[in-house]
């Protein structure tokens, strides 16, 4: 298969590149602007890496025309940056996505897999959150991701584009950067533990999240490529397990956490209902959080 991965040098994209390139029948191309590339990651020699932007129609049209499967992970992913510069957020996440969709509809591709976000749900009305939960984003980032979903579904209904939408919850991996203010809480906790410092919790630690390994996310993408029943559907990508932040802190460190005032607008509780993905695709989470944290603790976090 000829596969284009946008953002293929980023956290999720790099793992997708590694896994999909193992199949010799796959020919991979990465389109990445190098803004969030993983410094310690080098794409395999047989993967074509194109430095460019999803806002560049010429590059997008050229690369999409050569590929059968589009996996769109490239995005502006910072909630804070989206609030400070909503126009730039919309340009990247809406117009960039629209460029890819428009190019893809002009070629008979086999799959267009779009990475959205659980941020589209906003403050949960009920738990666990299923795909029918109301969407009420609380930031321009969440709104731009939801808009990309809507465009994809319109292209599916109007042009028959084989579109699949994924809504990941809290992804963790060795390639999250703990030095970044936007990285996951797990990498922050582990980095402080390695410095022999206590974890910092904003609030009382009772808030809950669904922490999913990047390896489960990669598995979900492969299932969406292989299963035609995925087309035209939206899927949560999580574990279906609710973990509170205080428990997480003690999994990462033996020190008593340091507590700071809660962040404004922080959601109290969130975790995924993954029954739809299980029933349609046979997806389930293979990686338990405890084992994932042990792996991270005994490895160098790649930045």
Q: Are 7 and 42 in contact (CB under 8 A)?
A: no
**What is the DSSP secondary structure assignment for residue 68, as one 8-state letter?**
S
Bridge-based pairing of strands 69-72 and 48-51 is unpaired
DSSP string, 76-141: ---HHHHHH-HHHHHIIIIIHHHHHHHHHHTTT-SEEEEE--GGGS-S-SSSSB-TTSPP--SSHH
Peptide bond into 226 cis (omega under 30): no
3-state helix, strand, coil in the chain (%, to 5): 40, 15, 45
| DSSP annotation of 13 | H
Helix (H) or strand (E) holding 36: none
Helix pair 96-105, 140-159: axis angle to 10 deg: 10
Strand partners, 183: none
Is 141 noted as a catalytic residue in this protein? yes
Do 252 and 293 form a contact (C-beta atoms < 8 A)?
A: yes
Structure tokens at 301: 């976090």
Q: Are strands 208-209 and 163-168 parallel, antiparallel or unpaired?
A: unpaired
Tokens coding 104 = 């893809």
Nearest to 137 by CA among 178, 95, 173, 90: 90
Please state, in angstroms and rounded to a whole number, the distance separating the CA atoms of residues 123 and 137: 8
Q: Which of 15, 114, 121, 141 is catalytic?
A: 141
Catalytic residues: 141
């Amino acid at each position: 298969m000829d596969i284009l991965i946008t953002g293929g040098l980023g956290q999720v994209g790099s793992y997708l590149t590694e896994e999909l390139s193992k199949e010799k029948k796959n020919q991979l191309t990465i389109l990445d602007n190098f803004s969030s590339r993983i410094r310690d990651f080098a794409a395999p020699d047989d993967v074509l890496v194109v430095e460019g932007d999803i806002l560049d129609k010429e590059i997008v049209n050229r690369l999409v025309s050569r590929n059968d499967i589009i996996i769109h992970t490239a995005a502006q992913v910072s909630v804070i940056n989206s609030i400070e510069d909503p126009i730039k957020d919309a340009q990247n996440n809406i117009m960039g996505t629209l460029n890819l969709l428009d190019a893809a509809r002009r070629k008979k591709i086999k799959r267009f897999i779009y990475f959205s976000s659980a941020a589209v749900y906003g403050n949960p009305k009920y738990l666990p959150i299923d795909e029918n939960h109301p969407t009420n984003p609380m930031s321009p980032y969440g709104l731009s991701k939801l808009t990309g979903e809507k465009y994809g579904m319109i292209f599916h209904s109007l042009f028959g584009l084989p579109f699949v939408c994924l809504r990941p919850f809290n992804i963790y991996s060795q390639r999250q950067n703990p030095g970044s203010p936007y990285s996951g809480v797990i990498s922050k906790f582990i980095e402080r533990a390695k410095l022999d410092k206590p974890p910092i919790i904003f609030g009382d630690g009772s808030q809950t999240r669904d922490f999913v390994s990047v390896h489960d996310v990669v598995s979900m993408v492969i299932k969406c490529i292989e299963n035609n029943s995925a087309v035209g559907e939206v899927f949560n990508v999580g574990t279906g397990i609710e973990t509170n932040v205080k428990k997480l802190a003690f999994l990462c460190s033996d020190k008593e956490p340091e507590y700071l005032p809660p962040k404004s607008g922080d959601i109290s509780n969130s975790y995924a209902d993954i029954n739809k993905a299980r029933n349609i695709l046979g997806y389930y989470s293979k990686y338990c959080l405890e084992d994932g944290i042990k792996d991270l603790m005994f490895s160098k976090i790649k930045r």
